[in-house]
């Protein structure tokens, strides 16, 4: 049974049983405590916690998930995968234990011909929470299971919570017995390799507090409504139904594994370590494909870093299988073909997805080449200094800064005959993980505090009137100070105010929040920010300018009309620039993020090379032609499917409901789903002036533009500069580029001559400085400050000239200079000095420590430096002191 068929049977069954079928949410979650949707219940958290009233009493879905906390286990076990699909059925105050158990058992054990999954009853075991007699009794009553196949486990295994105060409850897990080939008999309590968990039924009925750990908390009462939250692992059911040993060999994953086998020339099943690598490749390619399809792009932080890590682990694994060249065009294509039946977007959006994937692989292959060079130098230096191991900090630097995997470092070091201080490396890695966990905990605490909004959201959604009104009178639903709900806030306090209706736009879709005020009887509030802390609720962060604002008072929200107008101009201009980019570059140039504020727009888009001056000019001209043509700007609210059929662009990173707001500029020329505010016709934008274009990562570019009066002022400022130049240089405007180029060339020639004169002057001092060498113990020493110098190279050349004059003696030359406000010390040693124990690198480090910087180098010549120019005399003294101490 194919994976897609299992999912469809699941949805069909629950739709037949009056469940609303909910589409999968994005892998990118709104929850700031999570990078990704890590479990099937994540999209339903607002309903399960009571934060937001559920739009349905019962639902079912197939949810895409990404979980990377146990990434090191991928490939080693039958069930660990970073991307997985969770089948779930949900009840919000509707059916409870009996219904959940009944539905699960019927679907699992009904014959395939009747639409079920066709499991044999004898192969199924269940676990229940140790005190849950009700669930154990229901399993006997509904399924007829004997007590011997119902095992009771403790909180560690059979009690669910978020890990925070809030909803919780016992759970019951269903296991499939894979047979004696896979382990010991005795049920899941004895062996969870043979007995594989396939479905978890959570009976969410209690409220917990004082959470000290996963198993240590206090149950403080019943929830107002009892909920059902279930999750059945689609990949686990698939590998059982398909008769294979693990999830990597199922129909949606195996094609990538097989392609890796073909590319490597090695055989799957022949060697344990190779098998792990093949499975890692199959898993990570699929995960990367699905993340890219949901708009995540490779970067060095957050979600992008996780994606980059998955892709680079894939490249690394292929390299360890003996493949050094590019493989993503083959591997990602195989995954696309395997996943497109369930997720057509991976084929529909292949041009963009593949562009990112192939560019990331190309970049990392270059990184591996440069990292190998850096590693070769580090290995050479370690061996040259008589060390038998590469230091942990060096290995960590390669990993953390250059993205060079530790196992490749180990491999190359082993080939060179040295080891790696793995203990020190692991310590640094653990410190990094601890910092990351601390950051994650702070994010988790932040989301936990959102429970304060639950009661306000339960009153209904905040009505936004700002599309048509710049002023709206409503009432105050709530006041929060320092995250705590209070009756009122008085003059001088910063507070959050929640209104039943508001004309003020909350930051979203790239458009910043409105500016404005809120007034009421005896009070005035300055609006500092407007946000949506939970879906459907708008909160205003305000400063109380005068009076006291309290719950249930009348409140009039007033928008700063000038700021709103400028923001609308920028947002509509963003749509024009997007359309112009796609007209110029093609349909693969799609938006990857934007920022719109009064008079300014920033627009990121998928593209892998810098735009030429001619292309930027063309984009700017197309955009301004659209302004000139006074195109109508219209908005419609319609079903999402209808909007997509009309060609409306749904932008990555945005979440859309069943009904969406579509914005047309000039009809289908620019048609996007957008909740922002806009001008009524393109002529109101006024002017669009592209002022910048840059790279923001592999295959991502950014354009910046000024809009309206800000664009005019910028062009006026440029005109004033041009006027000043034409006057000062007595040159017509059209000849300015040539004249400035001539002056620049003349200046460079003059600077070159001056540098040559300065270098000659320095060189002429070599005989004098050599003659002033002083005896310090066994050495002849020249330690002098040169004052100002053009470059460190000139000072180095002088030091080497002095050394040549003293080459027959054990001489040490240390010259200091001010190079453009930075202190530099060059140290050179003769062969005789080195034989006596003098090392230029160590002496340069001693000087640099005094200068507040760093330094080092070879034993014969080295350089140190720092920012404290006034300390140069002390730095030269530090050299002679170190020399006298035998450095």
Q: Which residues are annotated as a binding site?
A: 571, 575, 674, 678
d(CA 754, CA 119): 88
Helices (H), 321-421: 328-339, 345-348, 350-384, 392-400, 406-415
Contacts of 113 (CB under 8 A, 6+ apart): none
Residue 658: exposure state from Cβ atoms within 10 A (0-12, 13-18, ≥19): exposed
Contact 410, 420 (CB under 8 A): yes
d(CA 307, CA 288): 6
Contact 19, 422 (CB under 8 A): no
**Backbone φ, ψ for residue 605 (5° rounding):** -150, 160
Measured CA to CA in angstroms, residue 844 lies from 311, 491, 666, 800 at distances of 42, 61, 67, 15
Q: Which helix (H) or strand (E) holds 823?
A: strand 822-829
How many Cβ atoms are within 10 Å of 550's Cβ, its own excluded? 17
Hunting for tokens 């990949």 — which residue is that?
Answer: 235
Which residue, 14, 45, 37, 311, is CA-closest to 164?
45
Hunting for tokens 């664009």 — which residue is that?
Answer: 711
Kindly state the tokens that stand for 65. Answer: 């998930």
Residue 838: exposure state from Cβ atoms within 10 A (0-12, 13-18, ≥19): buried
Beta strands 822-829 and 811-819: pairing type?
antiparallel
Hunting for tokens 């002033």 — which residue is that?
Answer: 772
d(CA 871, CA 877): 10
Kindly state the tokens that stand for 631. Answer: 């195109």
**Backbone φ, ψ for residue 460 (5° rounding):** 120, 170
Q: Which residues pair with 166 in a beta bridge?
A: 208
Contact 569, 686 (CB under 8 A): yes
Contacts of 555 (CB under 8 A, 6+ apart): 473, 474, 475, 476, 497, 499, 518, 519, 520, 549
Hunting for tokens 């040539």 — which residue is that?
Answer: 738
Measured CA to CA in angstroms, residue 437 lies from 39, 430, 432, 442 at distances of 19, 10, 9, 9
Q: How many helices (H) and strands (E) does the chain have?
A: 26, 35
Contact 211, 222 (CB under 8 A): no
How many Cβ atoms are within 10 Å of 790's Cβ, its own excluded? 18
Report the side by side order of strands in the sheet with 600-606. 591-597, 600-606, 700-707, 688-695
Contact 32, 447 (CB under 8 A): yes
Beta strands 854-857 and 861-866: pairing type?
antiparallel
Binding-site positions for Zn(2+): 571, 575, 674, 678
Strands (E), 667-810: 670-673, 688-695, 700-707, 774-776, 779-788
The three-state secondary structure class of 230 is: strand
The three-state secondary structure class of 4 is: helix
Question: How big, in percent rounded to 5, are the helix, strand and coil portions of the chain?
Answer: 45, 25, 30
How many Cβ atoms are within 10 Å of 586's Cβ, its own excluded? 11
Beta strands 419-420 and 389-390: pairing type?
parallel
Beta strands 195-209 and 218-233: pairing type?
antiparallel
């Amino acid at each position: 049974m194919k994976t897609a068929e299992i999912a469809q049977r699941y949805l069909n069954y629950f739709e037949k049983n009056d469940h609303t079928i909910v589409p999968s949410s994005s892998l990118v979650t709104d929850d700031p405590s999570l990078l990704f949707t890590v479990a099937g219940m994540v999209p339903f958290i607002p309903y399960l916690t009571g934060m937001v009233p559920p739009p349905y009493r019962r639902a079912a879905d197939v949810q895409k998930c990404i979980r990377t906390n146990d990434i090191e286990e991928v490939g080693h076990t039958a069930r660990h995968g970073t991307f997985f699909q969770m089948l779930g059925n949900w009840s919000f105050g509707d059916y409870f234990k009996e219904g959940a158990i009944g539905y699960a058992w019927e679907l699992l054990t009904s014959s395939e011909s009747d639409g079920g999954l066709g499991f044999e009853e004898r192969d199924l075991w269940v676990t229940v929470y140790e005190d849950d007699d009700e669930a154990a009794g229901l399993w006997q009553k509904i399924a007829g299971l004997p007590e011997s196949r119902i095992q009771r486990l403790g909180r560690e295994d059979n009690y669910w919570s978020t890990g925070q105060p809030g909803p919780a409850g016992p759970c019951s897990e269903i296991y499939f017995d894979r047979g004696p080939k896979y382990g010991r008999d005795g049920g899941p309590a004895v062996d969870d390799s043979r007995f594989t968990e396939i479905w978890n039924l959570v009976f969410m009925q209690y409220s917990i507090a004082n959470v000290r750990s996963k198993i240590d908390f206090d149950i403080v009462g019943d929830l107002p409504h009892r909920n059902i939250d279930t999750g059945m692992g689609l990949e686990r059911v698939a590998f059982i139904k398909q008769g294979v040993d693990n999830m990597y060999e199922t129909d949606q994953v195996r094609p990538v594994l097989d392609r890796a086998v073909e590319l490597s020339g090695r055989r799957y099943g022949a060697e344990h370590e190779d098998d792990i690598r093949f499975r890692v490749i199959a898993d990570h390619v699929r995960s990367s494909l699905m993340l890219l399809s949901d708009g995540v792009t490779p970067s060095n932080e957050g979600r992008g870093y996780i994606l980059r890590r998955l892709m680079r682990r894939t490249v690394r694994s292929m390299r360890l299988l003996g493949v050094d060249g590019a493989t993503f065009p083959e591997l990602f294509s195989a995954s696309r073909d395997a996943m497109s039946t369930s997720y057509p977007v991976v084929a529909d959006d292949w041009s963009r997805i593949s562009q990112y994937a192939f560019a990331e692989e190309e970049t990392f292959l270059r990184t591996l080449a440069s990292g190998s060079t850096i590693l070769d130098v580090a290995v050479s230096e370690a061996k040259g200094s008589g060390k038998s191991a590469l230091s942990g900090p060096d290995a960590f630097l390669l990993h953390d800064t250059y993205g060079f995997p530790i196992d490749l470092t180990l491999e190359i070091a082993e080939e060179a005959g040295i080891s790696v201080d793995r203990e020190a490396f692991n310590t640094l890695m653990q410190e990094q993980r601890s910092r990351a966990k601390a950051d994650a905990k702070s994010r988790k605490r932040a989301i936990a505090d959102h429970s304060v909004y639950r009661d306000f959201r339960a009153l209904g959604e905040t009505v936004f009137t700002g599309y048509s009104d710049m002023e709206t009178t409503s009432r105050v639903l709530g006041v929060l100070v320092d995250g705590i709900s209070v009756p009122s806030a008085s003059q001088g306090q910063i507070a959050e105010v929640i209104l039943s209706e508001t004309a003020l736009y909350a930051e979203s879709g790239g458009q910043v929040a409105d500016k404005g005020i809120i007034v009421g009887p005896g009070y005035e509030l300055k609006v500092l920010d407007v946000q949506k802390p939970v879906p459907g609720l708008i909160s205003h962060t305000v400063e109380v300018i005068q009076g006291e604002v309290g719950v249930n008072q009348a409140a009039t929200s007033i928008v700063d009309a000038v700021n709103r107008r400028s923001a609308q101009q920028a947002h509509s201009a963003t749509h024009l620039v997007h359309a112009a980019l796609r007209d110029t570059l093609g349909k693969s140039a799609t938006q990857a993020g934007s920022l719109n504020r009064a008079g300014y727009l920033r627009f990121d888009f998928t593209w892998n090379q810098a735009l030429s001056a001619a292309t930027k000019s063309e984009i700017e001209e197309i955009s301004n032609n659209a302004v000139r043509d006074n195109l109508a700007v219209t908005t419609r609210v319609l079903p999402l499917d209808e909007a997509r059929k009309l060609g409306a662009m749904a932008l990555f990173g945005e979440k859309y409901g069943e009904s969406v707001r579509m914005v047309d500029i000039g009809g289908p020329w620019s048609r996007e789903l957008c909740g922002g505010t806009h001008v009524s016709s393109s002529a109101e934008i006024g002017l669009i002036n592209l002022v910048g274009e840059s790279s923001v990562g592999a295959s991502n570019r950014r354009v910046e533009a000024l809009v309206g009066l800000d664009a005019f002022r910028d062009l006026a400022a440029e005109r004033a500069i041009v006027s000043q130049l034409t006057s000062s240089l007595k040159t017509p405007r059209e000849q300015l580029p040539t004249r400035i180029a001539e002056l620049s060339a003349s200046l460079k020639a003059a600077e070159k001559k001056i540098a040559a004169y300065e270098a000659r002057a320095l060189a002429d001092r070599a005989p004098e400085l050599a003659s002033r060498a002083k005896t310090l113990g066994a050495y002849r020493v020249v330690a002098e400050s040169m004052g100002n110098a053009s470059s460190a190279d000139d000072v180095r050349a002088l030091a080497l000239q002095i050394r040549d004059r003293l080459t027959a003696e054990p001489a040490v030359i240390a010259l200091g200079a001010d190079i453009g406000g930075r202190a530099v010390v060059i140290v050179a040693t003769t062969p005789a000095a080195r034989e006596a124990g003098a090392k230029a690198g160590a002496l340069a480090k001693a000087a640099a420590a005094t200068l507040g910087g760093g330094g080092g180098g070879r034993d014969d010549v080295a350089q140190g430096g720092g920012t404290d120019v006034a300390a140069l005399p002390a730095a030269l003294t530090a050299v002679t002191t170190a020399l006298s101490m035998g450095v």
